[in-house]
């Protein structure tokens, strides 16, 4: 996504004759593409995007697991993990 964004900025800045930003965006696109192919690989980055998209659509429902965990808690769990309900209530929305 960074590569696509840099290419779009390069395209827009080239046609608006903003040469400083165009050179910088083109350099970012080339270096990012080089790093992606050298360190991660094209196939693994595409696979990572597809898996991330699929996991974003299919989120498991964890309500049953949370209720089971509340019923099975003991005083040892409260000492080790703390009071989870108090932690959740103290967080700002």
Return the domain boundaries, the chain: 2-57
Question: pLDDT tens digit string along 52-92?
Answer: 888 888 876 666 655 655 566 666 767 777 666 655 555 56
Do residues 16 and 8 make contact, with C-beta atoms less than 8 angstroms apart? no
Which whole number is the average pLDDT over 17-33? 90
Q: Is the four-CA dihedral 34, 39, 44, 50 of positive or negative sign?
A: negative
Inter-CA distances, 57 with 4, 35, 46, 60, Å: 23, 29, 17, 10
**Which pLDDT does position 2 carry in this prediction?**
76
Question: Which residues, at least 6 apart from 28, have a Cβ–Cβ distance to it below 8 Å?
Answer: 2, 6
Specify burial of residue 7 (Cβ count, 10 A radius: 0-12, 13-18, 19+): middle
Statement: the pTM of the whole predicted model exceeds 0.85: no
């Amino acid at each position: 996504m960074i590569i696509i964004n840099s290419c779009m900025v390069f395209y827009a800045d080239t046609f608006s004759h903003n040469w400083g930003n165009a050179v910088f965006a083109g350099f970012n696109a080339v270096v990012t593409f080089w790093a992606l192919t050298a360190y991660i690989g094209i196939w693994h980055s595409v696979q990572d995007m597809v898996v991330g998209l699929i996991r974003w659509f299919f989120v498991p429902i964890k309500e049953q697991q949370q209720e089971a965990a509340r019923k099975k808690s003991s005083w040892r769990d409260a000492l080790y993990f703390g009071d989870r309900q108090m932690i959740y209530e103290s967080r700002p929305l």
